[in-house]
Amino acid sequence: MQDPNALFACFSFSEKSADDTSAAAKSGQSVVMSVFRTKIAGQCRLITVTWCKNLLVHGLSIAIDGGDNHYICKVEIKPWSFWRKQGSKHFEIDSKAVEIHWDLKSSKFSGDPEPKSNYYVAIVCEEEVVLLLGDLKKEAYRKTGSRPSLIDAILVSKKEHVFGKKRFSTRAKFHERGKFHEISIECSNRNSSIGNNSSDSSDMEMAIKIDGHVGIHVKHLQWKFRGNESISINKTRVEVYWDVHDWLFSPGLRHALFIFKPSSSSTSSSSSSLSLSSEIGCSSSIEAENESGSSGFCLFLYAWKLE
């Protein structure tokens, strides 16, 4: 019988840099990576929760920043291996006991790597649940025998890899207490309506929709393959950055990158401190800014275009 936390191919990239999620996506794996910031063992630390899905398995990986060390817990969710869907792992960070508990035996999925309901994942330190995911909160507190933390974990960023031909979609909320919004990105030939499956890329256009309403409409996409605009979502200003260069000019399986970053500033998007005048390589600086604690939530959406 294999160890329930054994490494598996779905997370072969987890011990490498976060950029290697692209390698996983190229192999046909859907990936969702969420980064939280909370207090563990007396220090503010980052927790990276990664859900992965391929043809054979769902996977969960949790990595905790321990300064010079990273502590990683991996879980396989196979349909024929029910015992692996519930368990725990224990280790120490700076001489403090840390426990990771999960119960995924009744979890419900809707095609995405991340479950939608009937599950919990809890991280416990010093008898406090410092991070709790899922909707079975009462059961999580009962099973762990721990109390809620006085400090709420903050969702710093989320990276998601999605696949499609002309339409790419996800759900996100831009504030902890806000509601989820449906985000969709649709591209088509300009001579046909948005959503048409025409393969002619000589004059493409793109629409970014929020809850079914067009927030950004880009014509002549072959000339405007990189850019940024500011949109309003429930009175919250959100800066949207895009880079679809590889969709248009690179052969084979390729992805575009979209960044959704809420902002409290009232200045126009043209004066944004993060310009895309060169490349959307600024994504690394946005991510670093978020992880340092100097910025709010940010969504990175990698849209892989299938032929």
Can you give the pLDDT at residue 178? 74
* Domain containing residue 220: 162-305
Of 154, 111, 167, residue with least CA distance to 306: 167
Report whether 208 contacts 215 (CB < 8 A): yes
Rg (C-alpha) for the chain, rounded Å, is 20
Please check whether residue 75 lies inside any domain of the structure. Answer: yes
94 plus 49 within the same structural domain: yes
Can you give the pLDDT at residue 252? 77
Of 299, 210, 216, 295, residue with least CA distance to 259: 299
Mean pLDDT of 144-164: 91
Instruction: Centre a 10 Å sphere on the Cβ of residue 183 and count the other Cβ atoms it contains.
Output: 23
Q: Is the pLDDT of residue 47 over 90?
A: yes
66 plus 87 within the same structural domain: yes
Q: Is the pLDDT of residue 147 over 70?
A: yes
- Choose one of 128, 152, 176: the last residue of a domain: 152
Q: Is the pLDDT of residue 3 over 60?
A: no
Mean pLDDT of 151-155: 91
Can you give the pLDDT at residue 167? 92
Per-residue confidence at 70, pLDDT binned at 50, 70, 90?
confident
133 plus 178 within the same structural domain: no
Please check whether residue 4 lies inside any domain of the structure. Answer: no
DSSP state letter for 296: -
Whole-Å CA distances, 91 to 3, 47, 156: 16, 15, 24
Which element (helix H / strand E) includes 86?
strand 86-93
Per-residue confidence at 297, pLDDT binned at 50, 70, 90?
confident
- Choose one of 122, 152, 182: the last residue of a domain: 152
**Cβ partners under 8 Å of residue 140, min gap 6:** 101, 103, 120, 122, 129, 132, 134
Per-residue confidence at 117, pLDDT binned at 50, 70, 90?
very high
Per-residue confidence at 291, pLDDT binned at 50, 70, 90?
low
Sign of the Cα pseudo-torsion (85, 87, 90, 96, in order): positive
Please check whether residue 3 lies inside any domain of the structure. Answer: no
Mean pLDDT of 276-280: 41
**Comparison of pLDDT for 57 and 262, the residue scoring more:** 262
Number of domains in the chain: 2
In angstroms, rounded to a whole number, what is the distance separating the alpha carbons of residues 278 and 182?
A: 29
Can you give the pLDDT at residue 225? 93
Q: Poorest-confidence range of 13-17, 224-228, 246-250?
A: 13-17
115 plus 166 within the same structural domain: no
At residue 38's C-alpha, the angle toward residues 35 and 41, to 5°, is 125
Taking the whole predicted model, whether its pTM rises above 0.85 is answered as no
- Choose one of 99, 127, 152: the last residue of a domain: 152
296 plus 252 within the same structural domain: yes
135 plus 263 within the same structural domain: no
Collapsing DSSP states into helix, strand and coil, what is residue 135?
coil
Per-residue confidence at 82, pLDDT binned at 50, 70, 90?
low
263 plus 188 within the same structural domain: yes
Which element (helix H / strand E) includes 98?
strand 96-103
Q: Which two tokens stand for residue 8?
A: 């598996």
Question: Which tens digit of pLDDT belongs to each residue from 236-271?
Answer: 899 999 999 999 888 778 889 999 999 765 433 433
Can you give the pLDDT at residue 278? 39
At residue 16's C-alpha, the angle toward residues 14 and 19, to 5°, is 90
User: Any long-range contacts for 243-250 (C-beta under 8 Å, 24+ apart)?
Assistant: 243/276, 243/279, 243/280, 244/187, 244/206, 247/187, 247/305, 248/201, 248/204, 248/221, 248/222, 249/225
Can you give the pLDDT at residue 165? 86
Q: Is the pLDDT of residue 213 over 80?
A: yes
Question: Which tens digit of pLDDT belongs to each residue from 169-186?
Answer: 998 888 777 788 999 999
Please check whether residue 121 lies inside any domain of the structure. Answer: yes
Average pLDDT of the chain?
Answer: 78
